[in-house]
């Protein structure tokens, strides 16, 4: 159910796979030079893989964590068959704390934790982890179709970071919209921002779209204003790490700048995210914890220093105010001009 599809166009990449009792992850630190996999067998190793960006992207780290709970449960059950649930509880908190901004991580750990009292054995949790994974893929296909309907024929779009198959269970959110549109001939050009400093756009989005045969043009992040001023751009399409109750959106650093530029240039701005990325408990963007990552990510690339500075500012995310978001697209449909009431009403609807 979670495998790549032969029948759905542009659906060939999976960042995570549960196989032979292990979690198999594409090591995203090595792309695009090397496509290598890590076989993960412990909950602690899942937390480390999330922290170190072996696996990244909000939905993907939630799904990895769900499988991590299974690995933790199995380890405790083999050592202490009577106490495995009690022993697992503190591990769940450590797993959920691996990265702070993406709410999908907490959402997935909470879902696993709520199932714990009813689970008679660790493998009951595996069924739930597989379900979370499958739901994400199915949701992204629906979300992609909703988003694609909003694009004009032969659209020209900008995307930022990587909100693709690599960042999700499969198919992607922002890239899910682009995949769905490409499948119906609706995409003429995708501009991908490099996404300094970790280069998710240059390394991951470009790789993913090239693998699928969807034409992509890479640009320096700082080229976006000139691009919007001088060439046709219909939409900016991005993913999200957390959508607050009022519609403010945390996403990869640089997203806010793109939203400001889009508004100035009359370009529409779409955030594509599953409802698992919505956090009604966070009232607005000011309440979202922004992860700051090691300064070495800015001062050097893969251990090679390219900067004379000894200090750096490295927030991994920023917050785009809801007022700059034209549409939020989820697996349940489209929220135009998102605000507190529209989002609350949307979250009441069923898929
Ligand atoms: O630091 P990353 O690579 O995990 O950041 C990822 C993003 O900001 C994505 O846009 C977001 O998680 C949505 S992924 C569908």
- The pLDDT of residue 183: 85
Q: Do the Cβ atoms of 271 and 239 come closer than 8 Å?
A: yes
- The pLDDT of residue 10: 84
The verdict on the CB of residue 159 being under 6 Å from ligand 1 is no
The verdict on the CB of residue 59 being under 6 Å from ligand 1 is yes
pTM greater than the 0.85 cutoff: yes
Spacing, Cα 165 to ligand 1 middle (Å): 11
Q: Do the Cβ atoms of 205 and 199 come closer than 8 Å?
A: no
The domain spans of the chain are 16-139, 141-348
Q: What phi and psi values does residue 169 have, to the nearest 5 degrees?
A: -65, -25
Output the CA–CA distances (angstroms, integers) from residue 124 to 119, 121, 223, in the order listed.
6, 6, 50
- The pLDDT of residue 12: 87
The verdict on the CB of residue 54 being under 6 Å from ligand 1 is no
The verdict on the CB of residue 163 being under 6 Å from ligand 1 is yes
- The pLDDT of residue 32: 97
Residue nearest to atom 8 of ligand 1 (CA): 252
**Number of the ligand 1 atom closest to the C-alpha atom of 102:** 12
Spacing, Cα 218 to ligand 1 middle (Å): 18
Residue pLDDT, tens place only, 81-96: 999 999 999 999 999 9
The verdict on the CB of residue 60 being under 6 Å from ligand 1 is no
Q: What phi and psi values does residue 47 have, to the nearest 5 degrees?
A: -60, -40
Among 251, 232, 254, 247, smallest CA distance to 346 is for: 247
Q: What phi and psi values does residue 337 have, to the nearest 5 degrees?
A: 40, 65
Among 243, 60, 59, 120, smallest CA distance to 49 is for: 60
Spacing, Cα 181 to ligand 1 middle (Å): 21
Q: Which CATH superfamily is domain 141-348 in?
A: Translation initiation factor eif-2b; domain 2 (3.40.50.10470)
DSSP class of residue 338 equals -
Fold of domain 16-139: 1.20.120
Question: What residues in the chain have per-residue pLDDT under 50?
Answer: none
- The pLDDT of residue 190: 98
């Amino acid at each position: 159910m979670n495998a790549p599809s032969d029948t759905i166009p542009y659906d060939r990449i999976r960042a995570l796979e549960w196989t032979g009792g292990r979690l198999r992850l594409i090591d995203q630190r090595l792309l695009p030079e090397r496509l290598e996999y890590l076989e993960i067998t412990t909950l602690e190793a899942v937390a480390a893989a999330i922290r170190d960006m072996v696996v990244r992207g909000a939905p993907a780290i939630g799904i990895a964590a769900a499988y991590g709970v299974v690995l933790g449960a199995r380890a405790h059950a083999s050592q202490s068959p009577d106490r495995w649930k009690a022993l697992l509880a503190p591990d769940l908190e450590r797993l959920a704390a691996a990265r702070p901004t993406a709410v999908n991580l907490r959402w997935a750990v909470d879902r696993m934790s709520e199932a714990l009292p009813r689970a008679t054995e660790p493998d009951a949790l595996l069924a739930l982890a597989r379900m979370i994974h499958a739901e994400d893929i199915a949701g992204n296909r629906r979300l992609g179709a909703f988003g694609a309907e909003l694009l004009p024929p032969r659209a020209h779009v900008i995307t930022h970071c990587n909100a693709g198959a690599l960042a999700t269970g499969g198919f992607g959110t922002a890239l899910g919209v682009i995949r769905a549109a490409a499948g119906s001939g609706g995409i003429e050009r995708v501009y991908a921002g490099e996404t300094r400093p970790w280069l998710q756009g240059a390394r991951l989005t470009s790789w993913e779209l090239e693998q699928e045969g969807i034409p992509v043009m890479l640009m320096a992040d700082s080229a976006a204003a000139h691009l919007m001023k001088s060439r046709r751009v219909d939409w900016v399409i991005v993913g999200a790490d957390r959508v607050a109750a009022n519609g403010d959106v945390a996403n990869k650093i640089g997203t806010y700048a793109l939203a400001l530029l889009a508004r100035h240039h009359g370009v529409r701005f779409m955030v594509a995210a599953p409802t698992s990325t919505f956090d009604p408990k966070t009232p607005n963007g000011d309440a979202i914890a922004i992860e700051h990552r090691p300064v070495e990510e800015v001062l050097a690339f893969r251990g090679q220093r390219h900067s004379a500075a000894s200090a750096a500012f490295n927030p991994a995310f920023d917050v785009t105010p809801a007022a700059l978001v034209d549409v939020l697209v989820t697996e349940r449909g489209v929220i135009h001009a998102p605000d507190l009431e529209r989002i609350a009403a949307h979250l009441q609807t069923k898929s």
